[in-house]
Amino acid sequence: MLQLHFLRLLGAACLALGLASTALAQGVSLPAQALKRGVNVLGYDPIWKDPAKARFQMRHLQAIRDGGFDHVRLNLHAFEHMDASGQLPASWFKQLDEVLAASLNAGLQVIIDQHNFMDCAKAIDTCRSKLKAFWRQVAPRYKDAPDGVLFEILNEPNGAADALWNDILAENLQIIRESNPKRRVVVGPKFWNSMDHLDSLKLPEADRHLVVTFHYYSPFPFTHQGAQWVEEFKNTSGITWGTAAEREQIGKDFDKVKAWAQKHDRPILLGEFGALETGALAQRVAWTSTVARAAEARGFGWSYWQFDSDFIVWDMKADGWVKPILNALIPSAGAPAATAARSSDPALEHLINVAKVSAWSVYGDGQSSQAVACEASGKSCLRVALQGKRPNPWDIGAIAPITGDIRKGDKLQVLLWARLDTDDAKAQAQVPVSLQLGAPPYTAVLSGSAVLTGKLEPVVLSGTAQVDQPAGTVNLSVQLGQVGQPVALSAPFVLRNYTPAK
């Protein structure tokens, strides 16, 4: 009955910143909306030295908005562009004007983040002079910008800046307030914007236009394994994450930040978090999702580190999203089609995943994948080309994240369509299918298998959850390592506690 019902239902199934010199030529202000989901951009792009060599294009800002983000944190290494008197060139401001205009046109709020933190850690006197020169130019230039433009005084004060940080913060905030009395300003504690130093932060009680930020990369050995700029970890690999205790620790850490925020009545922005590509993808996805959901559950906005360069959520070579990371950050990314269908079919109200072909990610050596037309719901499948069989079924696989919570006793139902991409009418292959944890020990929530043929047929898996599983910790997995020939997979559908109408 369930299978037939599925087959039936699925078969049917800001603004312009025209900045010329120092004035706004046109535009309508964006309202001062709370920061929710953002991404760091442009910190290490050639755009600031030679726009012709820029990796980042203005069209990427619309892609960021379409991906489900509401703001960007613009990382500016401005000191190197200053002349001997601390003045920034017109060409640099022209590029900044363009980025701001394109961001606001895309419907994004923008944090202008002064990012010369290591200069300040090493030479504090020079830093203080240049930092004040920066805000004396930037603040008045954008005093009439929409409320959707925020200022961040300095990223991650550390080293020589720590002992003087409250004084540095105060003197630059005063400069900003001379021309921007109500502009939202992002400020964070010393020691790399560490949550453990929030109590050391001294803020003017009367200034209620401050957003307090902290950065989170814990546990650091996991998120920075193989990082060449960290001597202690540059040769490390294979460090895992995902135990119950490790997940609980994130919640405990964020509860401390929430308690501080409530005591001081300040909004919180998690300004950076991410795990380097050198870690296992499934564990990075689980960590990223856990951090983002923990922040949102406590009312924090967040800005992922980062769009391009490293820790990436966008692949410049492929010119597209790193889908597992995007889906971990924004579970609803790309789900409008499913949302539209929900009004006509009650089953889709029970979805706990993104029911799109793009939700799949494929891992393992000797494979390639691309979207192709097919007769499944949505008229699209993912074709996975396989270069021979592997020793183990799990050596190659397709995974799709489960974005909703799973609770003990939940009735779970999985449906997708699959086939071997062959004209051989006798071809068959058995593949393991499961809902399983996305990190070691990869425990199965549900498991089974399917026999694939050259005909597109439904693969159905159902059962009852035995334990609670938080959102973002479970993947749908189809193991393909021993198939040895191309496979086509439709969009996956995972339902929780759905009972079809009789």
pLDDT tens digit sequence for 102-121: 999 999 999 999 999 999 99
Is the pLDDT score of 342 beyond 60? Answer: no
**315-343: average pLDDT:** 72
Cβ burial of 298 (10 Å; 0-12, 13-18, 19+) is middle
- For the residues 405-426, what does the mean pLDDT come to? 91
pLDDT at 19: 33
Range of lowest pLDDT (2-11, 132-141, 253-262): 2-11
- Reported as a pLDDT band with limits 50, 70 and 90, residue 30 is very low
| Distance between CA atoms of residues 166 and 128, nearest Å | 12
What is the CATH class of 347-496? mainly beta
What pLDDT score was predicted for residue 369? 85
Instruction: Decide if 62 contacts 106 (C-beta within 8 A).
Output: yes
For 325-337, what is the mean pLDDT? 70
Q: What is the C-alpha separation between 162 and 177, in angstroms, rounded?
A: 23
Tokens, residue 7 = 């087959």
pLDDT of residue 349: 80
Residues of the chain above pLDDT 90, percent: 73
- Mean pLDDT for 246-255 is 95
User: Which residue in this structure is represented by tokens 């498991």?
Assistant: 447
Query: Angle, nearest 10°, between helix axes 244-264 and 281-297?
Result: 30
Bridge partners (DSSP) listed for residue 418 = 457, 489
Q: What is the pLDDT of residue 348?
A: 75
What pLDDT sits at residue 13? 31
10 versus 90: the higher-pLDDT residue is 90
Strand duo 149-152 + 37-41: pairing:
unpaired
* C-alpha to C-alpha distance for 79 and 126, rounded to whole angstroms: 10
From the centroid of its chain, how far is CA 129? Answer: 35
What are the extents of the domains in the chain? 37-329, 347-496
pLDDT mean across residues, the chain: 88
Name the helix (H) or strand (E) containing 495.
strand 493-496
Q: Which of 444, 343, 353 is nearest to 404 (CA)?
A: 353
Task: Say if residue 443's pLDDT is above 60.
Answer: yes
Q: Show the beta-strand stretches assigned E in 327-393.
A: 361-363, 367-373, 380-386
Q: Note the pLDDT of residue 476.
A: 95
Quick one: 37-329 is in which CATH superfamily? Answer: Glycosidases (3.20.20.80)
Of 23-27, 196-200, 395-399, the one with minimum mean pLDDT is: 23-27
* pLDDT over 60 at 347, yes or no: yes
**Residue 332: its pLDDT value, please?**
63
Lowest mean pLDDT among 106-115, 134-143, 155-164, 418-427: 418-427
Q: What are the angstrom distances between the C-alpha of 210 and each of 3, 112, 144, 181, 342?
A: 54, 14, 18, 11, 40
Residue 335 has pLDDT above 50, yes or no: no
Three-state DSSP class for residue 500:
coil
Buried b (16+ CB within 10 A) or exposed e, 336-364: eebeebeeebebbebbbbbbbbbbbbbbb
Which CA distances in Å does 90 have to 35, 60, 85, 497?
30, 24, 14, 60
Report d(CA 368, CA 382) in Å as an integer: 10
pLDDT at 260 exceeding the cut of 60: yes
Residue 92 has pLDDT above 70, yes or no: yes
DSSP state of 482: T
pLDDT for residue 27 is more than 80: no
Strands 268-273 and 301-304: parallel
Confidence of residue 376 (pLDDT cuts 50, 70, 90): low
Least confident of 15-19, 133-137, 271-275: 15-19
The residue type of 272 is E
pLDDT beyond 70 at 288: yes
